[in-house]
Structure 1
Amino acid sequence: MATLDELDRRILRLFTDDPHIGVLGASRELGVARGTVQSRLNRLQEAGVIASWSPTLDPAAMGYRITAFLTLQIRQASGHGPVSEHLTAIPQVLEAHTVTGDSDLLVRVVARDTVHLQEVLDRVTAHDDVVRSASVISLAAQVPRRTAPLQPGR
């Protein structure tokens, strides 16, 4: 676990609030050397605090208007590996998590429409180790994906 000092927290807040600021802009805003900002960003990335510099894409804007959550029960003898590999090969599977409770995996998928969703569901459940599935369609995100509130000082 990375220990964050005040400068780290300020850098993270700045890039969270304005991802386009760049290292030079951040150094000017923070009043520190450009090299200091870059070395801090490198260290935060190496520590896994900054997980990605990729843009956050909106599936709905890309034509995937339906989001659904699936619960999967899988055969225990094979473990999670084979099903996880199968799910990774399906582009519409955005996430899969091992969970507690009656199910083994919680999977977030997207689809263009309900016909496409059925195709995605059929593909997900086509693996021999998937014993049972259930799905729910998201009507609206009440709290969208976020990480900013986790930052100390927010």
Structure 2
Amino acid sequence: MESLDRIDRDILALLQAEGRLTGAEVGRRVGLSQPAAGARIQRLERSGVITGYRAVVDPVALGLNIHAVVRLRTTHARLAPALDFASQTPEVASVLRVTGEDCLIFEVHCPQAGRLEEVVDVLARYGPVTTSLVLRAYPRKPLTGITEAAGRPT
């Protein structure tokens, strides 16, 4: 996709914060008509910049009071089995494959420490793990692309 202009970046910021906004409301907030805003949103969707819409759920409201980050150092041969385990484990909310000493980072939400221990014990079958409890998660910053003038992330 061609570079994003300020209005595209504003639309992305709005939809990342409030994904249920109507095209009319998005247009009002960025200074466009509803049809113009709708056309821009559709273009962002078709080009793959917007990949979907989803509900953001509070894990604590579901009784998942333990939030942890588990880092795994493994071998290439054990990578696929570790990823398979993660995909089949509902407590694993996200997985990142990273460079450096660790290979995978798992974000885990559990109802109690005993279940976290079980998840960590299984992951440890694939290599050394390091577990950190999350004390607080801060809101994610919206992704808005590259500034046109500076050529650096906004």
TM-score by length of 1: 0.77
Q: 1:61 to 1:36 in 2, by over 3 A?
A: same
**Corresponding residue for residue 112 of structure 1:** 111
Question: What's the secondary structure of 2:127's corresponding residue?
Answer: strand
What amino acid does structure 2 have at the position aligned with 1:62? L
TM-fit CA distance, 1:138? 1.3
Query: Residues 5-154 of structure 1 correspond to what in structure 2 (within 5 A)?
Result: 5-76=5-76, 78=77, 80-125=79-124, 130-141=126-137, 144-148=138-142, 150=144
TM-fit CA distance, 1:57? 1.4
Bigger drift between 3-12 and 28-37 goes to: 28-37
Which digits, 9 at most, give the CA deviation of each residue in 1:103-126, with x for residues without a partner? Answer: 211111111111121122234345
Q: 1:13 to 1:70 in 2, by over 3 A?
A: closer
Q: 1:125 to 1:52 in 2, by over 3 A?
A: farther
Question: What's the secondary structure of 1:4's corresponding residue?
Answer: coil
TM-fit CA distance, 1:149? 6.6
Provide the rounded CA distance (Å) in 1 between the counterparts of 2:31 and 2:144. 25
TM-fit CA distance, 1:18? 4.1
Provide the rounded CA distance (Å) in 2 between the counterparts of 1:14 and 1:97. 26
Unaligned ranges ≥5, structure 1: none
Provide the rounded CA distance (Å) in 2 between the counterparts of 1:15 and 1:149. 10
TM-fit CA distance, 1:44? 1.5
TM-fit CA distance, 1:54? 0.3
Question: What's the secondary structure of 1:44's corresponding residue?
Answer: helix
Q: 1:81 to 1:99 in 2, by over 3 A?
A: same
Question: 2:13·2:143 contact (CA, 8 Å) conserved in 1?
Answer: no
Question: What's the secondary structure of 1:82's corresponding residue?
Answer: helix
Q: 1:31 to 1:23 in 2, by over 3 A?
A: same
Number of aligned positions between the proteins: 148
Sequence identity percentage: 26
Provide the rounded CA distance (Å) in 2 between the counterparts of 1:83 and 1:109. 14
